Chain A
Amino acid sequence: MRRTLFESLTQPPLTEAPPAADDAALAELAAGVERAARRRLGRSLAIRQVDAGSCNGCELEIHALNNAFYDLERFGLRFVASPRHADVLLVSGPVTRNMREALERTYRATPDPKWVVAVGHCAADGGIFAGSYAVVGGVNAVVPVDLHIGGCPPTPSALLKGLIALLEGAR
């Protein structure tokens, strides 16, 4: 363990820092989120993720935001365990009829001001699952949506980009 920890201290971080030359797009996003998040909410924006019927693909990429390459928390954006602690609901999936009530209750449990971000093609309009007896449709059919982030699933970079758009739009 010592060797691993020591290396972590002595080697440069994997986190794709804003000025990194090899991934200019991500660097631009990183700076954008930091500025906007600070202006709007000091240095803190709490996100509660809700899977309302997804295939789990979106969750995998949302998880990736926490890895060392994307390191979401450096922007003050962090995932919280309860909707009562959240500013943003990040909702994935077509909303299934079986999850509709749980999503509504989660929304009601989130204090104002709050934003809802619908993640993935399915969350926009039900996607490939639209029309099923078991699916209500997109997230907008159940709770008001402030922003859609497309993709199947959206890449972590696309998710970051979407969070900036939210912050800019909510100004």
Chain B
Amino acid sequence: MPALFDTIAKAERIESHRPWPRYAVTAASWRQAAHDIAAGGATLLGLWADAAPLPTVHLAAIDDPTGDIAVFSLACADGQFPSVGALHPPAIRLERAIHSLYGYVAVGTPDPRPWLDLGCWDVRHPLGARIAEPPAQSAYQFLPVEGESLHQIPVGPVHAGIIEPGHFRFTAAGETVARLEERLGYVHKGIESLMAGASLEQAARLAARTSGDSTVAYGIAFAHAVEAALGIEVPPRAQYLRTLMAELERLANHFGDIGAICNDASFALMHAHCGILREVVLRAANAAFGHRLMMDCTVPGGVAVDLSLDGAAGIDELLRHIRRRFPRLVELYDNTASLQDRTAETGVLRADLARQFGAAGFVGRASGRAFDARKTPGYPPYDALAFTVPVLTAGDVNARVWIRIREVEQSIALVEQMLARLPAGPIAAPLDAGAANGEGLGLAEGFRGDVLAWVRLDGGRVARCHLRDPSWFQWPLLEAAIEGNIVADFPLCNKSFNCSYSGHDL
């Protein structure tokens, strides 16, 4: 057990929080936790606020090797808390978001600018004091860049492709990017405010629409949190079915990404063939579960739909199709020198940054961080299935492509094992929230990394739900990875990260 958890173990444990412990800590212990995380003793999993019953900030951390998780909570009745970001940069944007949404001030933060709040709402601090007036209009200050012959390129929020909106401010010296600064929040829908007071059914639908490409992963993370809070045991068949959906989702997204990355290097042949593979996965998912993206198929307690009668045969045929087609595409990728020339040594993310930011998914794994929530802390049925987590160290676009390729191979093996062992029985546990209270933390490994969900239930309804997309810790790393690359390679780097806008903006 890392030092972090030792120090805090003496703090007051909140009994209603499951499955991992939550401790009410003092400001001194909060600072100590921030120090320990900054020193590498644990990885920051999340940082969020809650206005009830008292203004509070919560910090979740995980010990990578063991998967031990703890949540530390600091009451901040005066609306102030010691900044974690002052010691540990990955927390900065989370603290800025807390300030914009709740009005709580991270004392000592190196960056007090708003985040998510672009000055367009009718209210300030919508989840906190709800001051009914628009924020004072002042131009957003991008970070200064100094030097000879620099020019700026503003991009977005509306981009050239069929992608989500966000603003990128490049400062370039000739062709070379000196600094990229992101400004996000354009698709902020106020999901967390809509969650407050929602029934479990409605909240699950909101969670499923937080990031459409990860709808299954969000469904599972939210279900994990609710099931923990209510102490519900999920039937084995439901665990298998939702995991089957999760792996189909991973396959579809990885095929889409591999093709799109190659397309951004103007190699359309890979894009066309990967697009076919993505489509056949979605069609098999539709035949098996009745929805191409499997939206709303996972619900707290289990799954909403059973595998259709010919669903298993369809997925079987899908696996055969992928096995026939995919290896040749991998060979094509590997043997095309002009393509490799674009992806190799482009957009390198350093291993120490990946570790510091707790980079998840292919972004972390291509830069030496092996973390995978399916292994640690792990959740059923992955503990009963054989698979490996690929890890590379090059950290470039090429490595992020190869991680996806290897994960496709592992997902095929996982789907095959699950189909062979699919247990019989009910597909959902009865969900009677009644007037239950309780708190739960859930993790699920989506295609781009671990999705965290935290719920506080009050009278059987959601009082507070926080959803943390893996992109929170990947977006800042994209800024680091693009530095020193040419502007024309940005689409390639960006697609290789494929961070979520909607999942981040909430």
* Cβ-defined partner of A132 (8 Å) among B158, B190, B500: B190
| Residue in chain B with minimal CB distance to A100 | B120
Within 8 A of B (CB), among A28-61: 49-61
Whether B163 lies near A59 (C-beta < 8 A) is: yes
Asked if B212 and A56 make an inter-chain contact with CB atoms under 8 angstroms apart, the answer reads yes
Bound together, the chains give a CA A82 to CA B269 distance in angstroms of 24
Q: Is A170 an interface residue (CB 8 A)?
A: no
CA distance A99 to B332 in the complex (A): 40
A96 touches B335 (CB 8 A): no
A interface footprint on B125-150 (CB within 8 Å = 1, 0 otherwise): 01000000000000000000000000
- Alpha-carbon gap, A1 to B295, bound state (A): 36
B375 within 8 A of A: no
Interface flag for B20 (CB, 8 Å)? no
**Stretch among A63-71, A140-148, A160-168 lining the B interface:** A63-71
Q: Please report the C-alpha to C-alpha distance between residue A79 and residue B163 in the assembled complex, in whole angstroms.
A: 12
Which residues of B sit under 8 angstroms from A93, Cβ to Cβ? 187
**Stretch with Cβ within 8 A of A (4 or more), from B22-30, B65-73, B272-280, B380-388:** B272-280
Q: Nearest residue in B to A68 (C-beta to C-beta)?
A: B276
| B501 interface residue per 8 A CB criterion | yes
CB-CB under 8 A for A129 and B162, given A4-B328, A98-B120: no
A5 in complex: contacting residue of B256, B269, B501, B502, CB < 8 Å: B269
- Considering only residues 160-188 of chain B, those with a C-beta below 8 Å from chain A are 160-165, 185-188
Q: Of B126, B202, B276, B502, which is within 8 A of A134 by CB?
A: B126
From B121, B162, B269, A59 is in contact (CB under 8 Å) with B162
User: Min CB distance, A17 to chain B, in Å?
Assistant: 15
Give Cα A54–Cα B190 distance, bound, in whole angstroms.
12
Q: Which residues of the other chain, B, contact A27 by a CB distance below 8 angstroms?
A: none
> Which chain A residue has the least Cβ–Cβ distance from B292?
A155
Interface residues of chain A: helix, strand, loop or mixed (majority): mixed
A102 within 8 Å of B (CB atoms)? yes
Given contacts A4-B269, A57-B293, A98 and B118 within 8 Å (CB-CB):
yes
A51 near B187 with CB under 8 A, answer yes
Most buried by B among A61, A131, A134: A134
Determine the residue in chain A with the shortest Cβ distance to B501: A56
**Closest A-chain residue to B336, C-beta based?**
A1
Across-interface contacts of B292 in A (CB, < 8 A): 61, 155
Cross-interface CB contact of A14 among B123, B161, B187, B276, cutoff 8 Å: B276
Total residue contacts A-B, CB cutoff 8 A: 141
> Chain B's nearest CB lies how many Å from the CB of A134?
4
User: B162 and A49: CB pair below 8 A?
Assistant: yes
Interface residue stretch chosen among B203-211, B236-244, B472-480: B203-211
- Residue B194 contacts which of A5, A59, A106, A131 (CB distance < 8 angstroms)? A131
Complex Cα–Cα for A69 and B273 (A): 11
Residue A21 at the chain B interface, CB threshold 8 Å: no
**A53 & B157 in contact (Cβ 8 Å cutoff):** no
Chain A proximity of B307: nearest CB distance (Å): 20
A69 touching B162 by the CB < 8 A rule?
no
Residue A20 at the B interface, CB < 8 A? no
- Across the interface, do A102 and B165 meet the contact criterion of CB distance under 8 Å? yes
Contact B209 A133 (CB under 8 A): no
Per-residue CB contact flags for chain B residues 223-234 toward chain A (1 = under 8 Å, else 0) read 000000000000
* B165 and A1 contact, CB distance less than 8 A: no
Docked pose: A62 CA to B292 CA in angstroms = 13
Pick the contact of B210: A55, A58, A62, A135 (CB < 8 A). Answer: A55
- B450 interface residue per 8 A CB criterion: no
Q: A54-B187, A81-B161 are in contact. List 19 more A-B contacts (CB 8 A).
A: A1-B269, A3-B328, A4-B269, A5-B269, A52-B165, A54-B502, A55-B209, A55-B210, A56-B501, A59-B162, A67-B275, A83-B158, A97-B121, A99-B157, A102-B186, A128-B209, A133-B126, A134-B189, A153-B212
List, sorted by A's number, 20 A–B pairs whose CB atoms are closer than 8 Å. Answer: A1-B269, A1-B336, A4-B328, A14-B276, A51-B163, A51-B187, A54-B164, A54-B187, A56-B500, A56-B502, A68-B272, A68-B276, A96-B186, A96-B189, A98-B118, A132-B189, A133-B121, A133-B190, A134-B189, A135-B190
Q: Which residues of B contact A (CB under 8 A)?
A: 118, 120-123, 126, 157-158, 160-165, 185-191, 193-194, 202, 205-206, 209-213, 215, 256, 269, 272-273, 275-276, 278-279, 282, 292-293, 295, 328-329, 332, 335-336, 500-502
10 residue pairs, one from A and one from B, having the closest CB atoms: A57-B212, A132-B190, A134-B190, A81-B160, A67-B275, A56-B212, A97-B120, A55-B212, A55-B209, A129-B189
